[in-house]
Amino acid sequence: MQLSLLSSSISAEAGEVNTQLAAPVVYLIDTILEFVPPETLRTNYSHIVPSLATILENQSTGNTHSEGTAALIRSALGALERVLTAQDDSTWKSREEHSVQLVFTSYILGYSLDPRPKVRKRALDAIKNILTHPSVDRKGAHPAAEGTAALAFHTAQAQFGQSKKRKGRDAGERDVKAVHSLNLLKVVADSLVWPKSSIQELVEFLLNLSSENYDNVVRLTALDCFEVIFAQATEDNDTERIREVIEVSCLETAKSDGRWCWRLSLQRQIRNLFPAGLPSLLLGSGCTQLLM
């Protein structure tokens, strides 16, 4: 019943949406899907997702400033989250039209930089819920984890690269979007174990944002993101990986007295991690005095 109403409010081929009819229908679908068995959601994936994708695609290019439109987007994101969460890990490898990975990247991640706080928060919540949702057949990280980490990192790099080139009226908008990209990076980092291959590059990027070239909002958000990364470590974790994070952090924080808050954070994190004292491998890191 609800799916037929959804179809009648959308012309997927023409990319047109009757928002007055779609809004209550999608809200109802978002509410109901929470109680639908995962097997049913997997079976009906092809019936639900194209319509939701059409709504999100349509609203991203049209007049999206009304509260009613924002509510429709939030409901569509919520419904998509429930459907994507129910999918088997194997389906994330498909690259067909409206595939799980493509929908996640294009719409869930895409709306995480939306200028409207409620829409942006709904997208960020969906990202975290999808990446942290357990699966019976999963033996390692979520299949989208590494790609999402890379995308979030490169998005933040690109946004702050544009922010440096800002001029005139475009400056404020670019700076805001850069902060949004950093919040996306923080949510993604908090939802997975960051890939070892890019941990040093990530730490260097975050520490660079702690310089006096950026305002307090950027610096504090970068610090929050760094603490999320470091908090993932445990005493049973890869000590070499922890050493790498510590060494990069020490080298960068030593360059400026203005980064004292980073040194305090680093000291606190290490003391929490190693209450009995630094292990022997870390004592030779070259920054022992800074940490104690």
pLDDT in tens, 226-251: 888 777 755 445 566 666 666 666 66
pLDDT > 90? residue 163: no
Among residues 292, 207, 197, 220, the alpha carbon closest in space to that of 252 is found at: 207
Supply the pTM of this predicted model: 0.84
Spatial CB neighbours of 166, under 8 Å, sequence gap ≥ 6: 174, 175
Spatial CB neighbours of 201, under 8 Å, sequence gap ≥ 6: 153
Say what the pLDDT of residue 66 is.
67
